[in-house]
């Protein structure tokens, strides 16, 4: 067993960290306050090869492994969670198209994602009545000659207003339940697709979260991703990889919480000495660092398993569950260490605290991760 990163991984971490410190960290607070989509960040990240990282180069991707993706997500998460979630979902869609798409779909849709021609890509599963119970979606797609006609509504869609292409889960055969779900690739601007108002969120306010309304939206039949009826499995399989991305982002936010807490506690003097000299503060920092190390190892192991081509569903859910819950604990402690200042916008931990909250909700709540983990241990009871 070897816990050392390979040379290529170390170089990637250096490159992304330098970029993130220079470009992402300075902009993060303003993106949050103004609720501004990080378009310029994403363009630069596409130039660095961060938007379709695990897709082979022949389709415009970077041909990197999943460990690289996790490491890059950690660095971007440490700098700006709004940018990180956009990156994670875009990579998930690029990979979904690569894994399940036809040759034509891969050649048409992955290069513009990878190059930054598309600002982002979206994964449209959730509906007002189908969140955790994703198999209960109602949006329909009815075949009409060479087209599918989509009607329905999606909510909480990350990057929906900016995505060049979206993976949209639809019901093509109501009589078959989850086996009647399919996935269509829908381009931005397709007539019949309306982008709803952006959600006003607690955190990750620079990321774009919208509803999508489909009213007789006609999509070419050739945009079916995989086979009719395979859509639920395609979305869940793709989400397994997405959960590694969100777990990695949580590690990044946790690292930022730890770094800010170390800095602040060494500089803040109370009772005649830096508060880092008090055991109460030391224990919080020790717990944060321990959680971070465990989370990073879990996330990297899940990514490594994925690279080995073996089942990683349980490992990805465990990593996402542990990392996002631990990052919430870390953000709580970071604010606690900063005292009243931590509750103000003067210090970034206020934003970390809000940004991290959603990570135990999206891409499967912590409760859903426990269901996935338990089913992988006990089988379906
Ligand atoms: N990979 C491939 N196939 C899978 C799978 C996986 N990880 N998990 C399950 N399946 C298959 C099953 O084998 C089963 O196949 P068969 O019927 O042929 O046997 C089929 O899918 C249905 O599985 P279940 O009966 O277990 O499905 P379920 O209805 O009980 O749901 C669930 C399982 C795990 C609870 C699932 O609904 C789930 O993950 N829910 C959470 C949804 C979610 O994560 N939403 C996130 C939205 S996207 C987002 O947040 C992105 C963003 O923008 C930030």
The whole-number pLDDT of residue 380 equals 84
C-beta of 89 in contact with ligand 1 (< 6 A): yes
The whole-number pLDDT of residue 76 equals 98
Name the pTM for this structure.
Answer: 0.98
CATH number corresponding to 233-378:
1.20.140.10
Distance 185 CA to ligand 1 centre (A): 19
Is domain 123-231 classified as CATH 3.30.360.10?
no
C-beta of 363 in contact with ligand 1 (< 6 A): yes
Q: What are the tens digits of pLDDT across the range 126-166?
A: 999 999 999 999 999 999 999 999 999 999 999 999 999 99
Of the candidates 94, 212, 80, 100, the one whose C-alpha atom is nearest the C-alpha of residue 154 is 212
Q: Which ligand 1 atom lies nearest to the CA of residue 85?
A: 54
Helical H runs in the chain? Answer: 7-19, 25-34, 39-47, 66-79, 81-100, 103-115, 231-267, 279-307, 313-338, 349-357, 366-378
- Indicate whether 78 pLDDT > 90: yes
Distance 273 CA to ligand 1 centre (A): 53
C-beta of 361 in contact with ligand 1 (< 6 A): no
Q: For the chain, what are the domain ranges?
A: 7-119, 123-231, 233-378
C-beta of 80 in contact with ligand 1 (< 6 A): no
Distance 297 CA to ligand 1 centre (A): 25
Active-site positions read: 363
Q: How many CB atoms lie within 10 A of CB 331?
A: 27
Is domain 7-119 classified as CATH 1.10.540.10?
yes
- Indicate whether 1 pLDDT > 90: no
Nearest CA to ligand 1 atom 13: 233
Of the candidates 360, 356, 380, the one whose C-alpha atom is nearest the C-alpha of residue 368 is 360
């Amino acid at each position: 067993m070897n816990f050392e990163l390979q040379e290529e991984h170390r170089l990637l971490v250096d490159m992304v960290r330098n970029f993130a410190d220079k470009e992402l960290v300075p902009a993060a607070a303003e993106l949050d306050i103004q609720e501004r989509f990080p378009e310029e960040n994403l363009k630069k990240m596409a130039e660095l090869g961060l938007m379709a990282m695990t897709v082979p180069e022949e389709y415009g991707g970077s041909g990197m492994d999943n460990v690289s993706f996790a490491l890059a997500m950690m660095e971007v998460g440490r700098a700006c969670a709004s940018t990180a979630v956009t990156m994670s979902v875009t990579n998930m869609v690029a990979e979904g198209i690569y894994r399940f798409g036809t040759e034509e779909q891969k050649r048409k849709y992955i290069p513009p994602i990878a190059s930054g021609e598309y600002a982002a890509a979206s994964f449209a599963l959730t509906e007002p009545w189908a969140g955790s119970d994703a198999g209960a979606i109602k949006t329909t797609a009815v075949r009409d000659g060479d087209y599918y006609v989509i009607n329905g509504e999606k909510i909480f869609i990350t990057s929906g207003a900016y995505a060049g292409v979206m993976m949209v889960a639809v019901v093509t055969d109501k009589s078959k339940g989850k086996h009647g779900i399919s996935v269509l690739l829908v381009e931005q601007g397709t007539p019949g697709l309306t982008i709803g108002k952006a959600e006003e969120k607690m955190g990750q306010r620079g990321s774009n979260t919208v509803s999508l309304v489909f009213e007789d939206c006609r999509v070419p039949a050739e945009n079916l991703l995989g086979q009719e009826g395979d859509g639920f499995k395609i979305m869940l399989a793709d989400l397994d990889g997405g959960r590694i991305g969100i777990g990695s982002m949580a590690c990044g936010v946790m690292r930022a919480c730890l770094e800010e807490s170390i800095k602040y506690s060494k500089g803040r003097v109370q009772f005649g000495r830096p508060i880092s000299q008090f055991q109460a503060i030391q224990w919080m920092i020790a717990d944060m660092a321990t959680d971070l190390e465990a989370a990073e190892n879990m996330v990297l192991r899940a990514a490594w398993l994925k690279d080995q081509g073996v089942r990683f569903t349980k490992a990805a859910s465990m990593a996402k569950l542990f990392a996002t819950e631990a990052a919430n604990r870390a953000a709580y402690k970071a604010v606690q260490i900063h005292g009243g200042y931590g509750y103000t916008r003067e210090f970034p931990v206020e934003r970390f605290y809000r940004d991290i909250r959603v990570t135990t909700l999206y891409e499967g709540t912590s409760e859903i991760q426990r269901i996935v983990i338990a089913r992988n241990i006990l089988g379906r009871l």
